[in-house]
Structure 1
C-alpha cells in the first residue's frame, strides 16, 4: 500500500523551521513561525496562565470526558468575550475545538453540509492553511485581492471583487491583524463589508487568531461585533494560541450566529457530529485555564495587562524597524510597515530576495515576504534593517546559490554571514 503513495507536498513553514534548526550560524534569526517571543527570544508562559494552572492543579478535578462540545463554561466565556456582554441572548452557539485550525475545519464541514454548492472566498494572500483546510472539507475556493499597490488594505478593490460573490457564498475574513500582510480594514471599511454582506446575501466567516495584539482587545474585536450586529448568519473561528500563549495546548472554539433557536440547535449538533468523526472531543487543559482566567476578576485583569505589554512590544518592534529602514533610505518599505498591525508584517521583497536574505544574512522569513515582528529581539532590529536594505540595494544582483545540503537535508557547515555595511 505505502509503496503506491506518491511523494506528498511538505509544509513550507515547517520546512523553513527545519532549515533554520540545521543552520549553524550564531547570527541566524527565525522570523518564520507565528509565535510571540520576549526580548530574550523566549516564548514565555503568561503569568495569569501559570496562576490558573496552579489553581487547577490544587483543585485536582476529574479528567472525565466533557462531551462533544467540550468545556461549556469555556464556550460561554469565549462567546461573551468575542461578541460582548451586551450581545443578545440566544443569538449564537459555541463549540470548543482543537485550536483555531480545528474551528476552521469544523465550520468548513458545516458549510459543506448546509451549502454544498457554495464557494468560499479567501483573501489573496491568505493565511497559509486557509485553502488546504477548506479544500480538505470538499469546498470550492476562490480568492479576492487584499492589498493595494503600497501594500495596504485595498477597500475599493475588495468590494469590487466581492461583487462576484453569489447569495449563499461564504467570505472568509480575518477579524484583525491580517496574516500574512498585517494590513487591516478601517472601521468604515468593515461597515461597508457588513452592508455588502446583507445586500448580496453572502455569509461572513471570521477567523480570529490575534485579537489583543493589534489595537487592543476591545478594538480588535470591534470589527467582528460590527458584522455580528448586522448580518443574519455568521461563522467565527477563534484561537487562544496567541493571546493566551497556549500554542501547544490547542485551545479554540467555533461559533455560529443564526436567526432562530431551531437553526442554531441544528448547527450545534452538526458541529458536534463533525467533531465526533474528526477527534471526538477537544483537550480540556487549555480550556480550563482560559475559563479560570476569564471568570476571575483579578486573573482577567492580570491577563489583559500582560497582553497589553505583548502588544506594546510588537508595536515598538515595528516602529523601530520602520525607523531604521527609513534612515537607510528605504522610505517605501518603511511606509508599508508603518501601516501594518499585529504579529506579522510583509516586506516588499521577492522570493529571490527573501532567499538572499536567508542565505547571505541568516534571516529567515517566508518566500512571500512575511516576517514575524513579534519574534525579533529588540537589539537585533538594526542589523535586520541593514540586511533588508542590503538586499534591496543589490536587487539586480543574482541571489546566492543555495548550498546543496539545504536541498538534501544532509548535515552541513553553514555559510558565513555576509558582512553588512
Structure 2
C-alpha cells in the first residue's frame, strides 16, 4: 500500500531553513523562518511564562484530560484579552486547539460541515498554510487582491472589487493584524468598508489573528476584530499564543465561533467539541494553562505585557532603522513602507531572482516572494541587509 504514495510538494520555508543551516558563511542572516528572535538570535522564554510554569509545577495535582474543548478558564481568559466584552459571552463558542494552525484547520472543517458549497476568499498573498489546508480539504479557494508590489501597500480598490463577487454561501478570510506575509494592514476605515460589504452580501467573515501585541499594541491590534464582532451576525476567529506568549512549541491556539443568537451557541459548541474529538480528541493543556495563569494573575499579566511591549518596540525600531538606512544608501523614499508595516514581516515586492541574488551574494535568506522576518535582524545586520538590497537593484 505505501508504495502507492506520491512525494508531496516541498515546503519552501523548510527548504530555505535547510539551506541556511548548510551555508558555511559566518555572516549569514536568516530572515526566512517565521519565528521571533531577539538581538542574539534566540527565541527567549518570557519571564512571565517561566514564572507561570513554576507556579503550575508547584500547584498542579493531576495530568488528567481537560474537556474536549479544553479548560473553560483558558477560553474565558483569551476571549477577554481579544474581545474585551465587545460581544455577549453567551453568543461565543470556543475550543482549544493545537496552535493557531489547529484553530484554522478546525474552522475550515466547521465551514465545510455547515455549508459544503462554501468558498473561502483569501488575500493574495496570504499565509501559505491557509491555501494548503483549504486545498487538502477540497474547499474552493478564491483569491482577492490585497498587496500592491509597486506601492508596497494594500491594494484596497482591488480588494473591494474582488470581494464584490462573494455570495451568502461564502467565507472571507481576513488577517486581524500584522498581515502575513506583507506586514501591510487595513485602516479601521477600510475595515468598516469591508464589514459593510460583508453585511450587504450576507457572507461570513473569518479572522486569523496570530500576532496580537506585535503591531501597535494589544488593544490596537484587537480593534479591527472587535469592530467585526460588534457589526456582523456571525464570525469565526482563529487565535494563536505562539508569538505573543513565545510558546511556539506548546501549540496553543483557540477557535472562537460567534453565533447570531445565544440560543444557537450550544449547538455550535457541540460541533466544535465533535471536531476536536475526531481530529485529536483532547487538546494540549500545558500552554493553555500557562496563558490562563498569566492572564488571571495581575502581577504576571503586567510583567508579560511589559515584555511584549519591549518586543514590539524592538521590532519597530529595527523597521525604522532599516528604512532610514535604505533611504541613506538609495537617496530615495521608496523604502519608507518598511517603517509603516507592522508585525514580524514585510514584503519587499521584488522578484525571486533578486531574492536569490541577495542570498548568493550576501548569505541573506528570505522567502522567494521577498517576505522577510524583521525579527531576524539586529542593529548590526540592518546595514548589511540595506546594502545588499540596494546593491541588488531592488
Please state which band the TM-score falls in when normalised by the shorter chain.
over 0.9
Match of 1:53 in 2: 53
Shift of 1:86: 5.0
Q: Distance in 1 between matches of 2:334 and 2:351?
A: 13
For 2:85 and 2:291, the matched residues in 1 are separated by: 17
Which secondary structure does the structure 2 equivalent of 1:273 belong to?
Answer: helix
Aligned mates of 1:332, 1:281 — CA distance in 2: 52
TM-score when scaled to structure 1?
Answer: 0.91
Q: Distance in 2 between matches of 1:83 and 1:137?
A: 29
Structure-2 residue corresponding to 1:359: 360
Task: Give the Å deviation of 1:378.
Answer: 1.8
The match for 2:219 is 218
Residues 219-259 of structure 1, C-alpha deviation per residue, up to 9 Å, x if partnerless? Answer: 00000000000000000000000000010000010000111
Residue in 2 that maps onto 1:115: 115
C-alpha displacement of 1:276:
1.3
Q: Does 1:199 align with 2:194?
A: no
* Alignment map for 1:375-390 (pairs within 5 Å): 375-390=376-391
The superposition leaves residues 53-105 of structure 1 with CA deviations (integer Å, 9 ceiling, x where unpaired) of 01001113210000210121101111111111353231211110011000000
By how many angstroms is 1:294 displaced?
0.3
Offset at 1:330? Answer: 6.0
Which structure has the greater CA radius of gyration? 1
| Aligned match of 1:5 | 5
CA contact (8 A) 1:239 1:251 kept: yes
CA distance in 2, matches of 1:373, 1:70: 34
Distance 2:302 2:142 in 1: 41
CA distance in structure 1 between the partners assigned to 2:228 and 2:61 by the alignment: 38
Structure 1 unaligned residues grouped into runs of 5+: 396-421
CA–CA separation in structure 2 for the residues paired with 1:114 and 1:74: 26
1:96 equivalent in structure 2: 96
CA deviation string 1:322-364 (max 9, x = no partner): 0111111163541232321110011122001111111111000
Whether the 8 Å contact between 1:330 and 1:389 is mirrored in structure 2 is no
CA distance in 2, matches of 1:383, 1:282: 43
State the shift of 1:319 in Å.
Answer: 0.5
Q: Does 1:267 align with 2:276?
A: no
Instruction: Provide the rounded CA distance (Å) in 2 between the counterparts of 1:262 and 1:98.
Output: 28
Most deviating of 252-261 and 175-184: 252-261
Cα distance in structure 1, aligned partners of 2:289 and 2:182: 32
- CA 1:51–1:163 in 2, change beyond 3 Å: closer, same or farther? same
The structure 1 segments of at least 4 consecutive aligned residues displaced by more than 6 Å after TM superposition are none
Q: CA deviation at 1:217?
A: 0.6
Q: 1:16 — aligned with what?
A: 16
Residues 226-375 of structure 1 correspond to what in structure 2 (within 5 A)? 226-329=227-330, 331=332, 333-375=334-376
Deviation at 1:266, TM superposition (A): 1.5
Aligned residues: 393
- For the residue of structure 1 that corresponds to 2:123, the secondary structure is strand
Task: Please give the alpha-carbon distance, in whole angstroms, between the structure 1 residues aligned to 2:87 and 2:263.
Answer: 19
Cα 1:329–1:294 shift into 2, 3 Å: same
Structure 1 residue 138: Cα displacement: 2.5
